[in-house]
Amino acid sequence: MRIKRSIASVLLLAFTATVPNIVAQRPRQFTRDELISAARETMTSTRYCALITTDRTGRAHARTMDAFAPEENMVVWLATNPRSRKVAEIRRQPHVTLYYFDRESQAYVTLYGRAQLGNDAAEKAKHWKEDWKAFYPERDKSYLLIKVTPDRLEIVNVKKGIVSQSPTWEAPSVHFQARGQFKPTKRR
């Protein structure tokens, strides 16, 4: 009986000795600039992202998009056909989500923002990829820009130590100031 108690005491001591180490291993807090930099890196190295819109019933629609790298202010440009379903959904509800996933870095970025549709010739010339020729044979008529201005982004990058917070698993995030006419909706 004494041996069992001694073993139990030793095991309890060993476990208790590791508790401070487990608690001390909290994820490091990253600055806003560090999070944005890591997000930009993931978004730039990941060629494709998912654009997620909602239909009239509130159902989400995701599709793979070939986005441009984010601009300095994290605005993202994409392109589509003006007759596509996503255009009708953006016109009805401009709040969209972009989702990037990088398997190699065990990283993802979710960017929540407001989409605006644009047909400006100068912007279309600036935001064009030669790979798109087959998709948009008549650039004047078949090519429309989507500009996504961010409200918030979430990022996880295991290799950089940017990880979700226990116990809720909430990813580190960055909130952006609303510009111009757009005001973010409140979460309920």
**180 within a domain of the structure (yes/no):** no
Binning pLDDT at 50, 70 and 90, where does residue 122 land? very high
pLDDT at residue 146 tops 70: yes
Query: Residue 24 has what pLDDT?
Result: 39
Q: What is the mean pLDDT of residues 61-88?
A: 96
Cβ 124 vs Cβ 139: under 8 Å: yes
Query: Residue 139 has what pLDDT?
Result: 79
* Token code pair at residue 165: 């917070």
pTM across the whole model: 0.79
Query: Residue 141 has what pLDDT?
Result: 82
pLDDT at residue 187 tops 70: no
Q: How many domains, the chain? A: 1
**21 within a domain of the structure (yes/no):** no
* Owning domain of residue 107: 28-175
**By C-alpha distance, which of 132, 154, 156, 157 is closest to 77?**
132
Burial of 114 (0-12, 13-18, 19+ CB in 10 A): buried
**76 within a domain of the structure (yes/no):** yes
158-173 confidence digits (pLDDT tens): 999 999 988 889 999 9
| C-alpha span between 36 and 44 (Å, rounded) | 12
Here the CATH number for the domain that contains residue 45 is 2.30.110.10
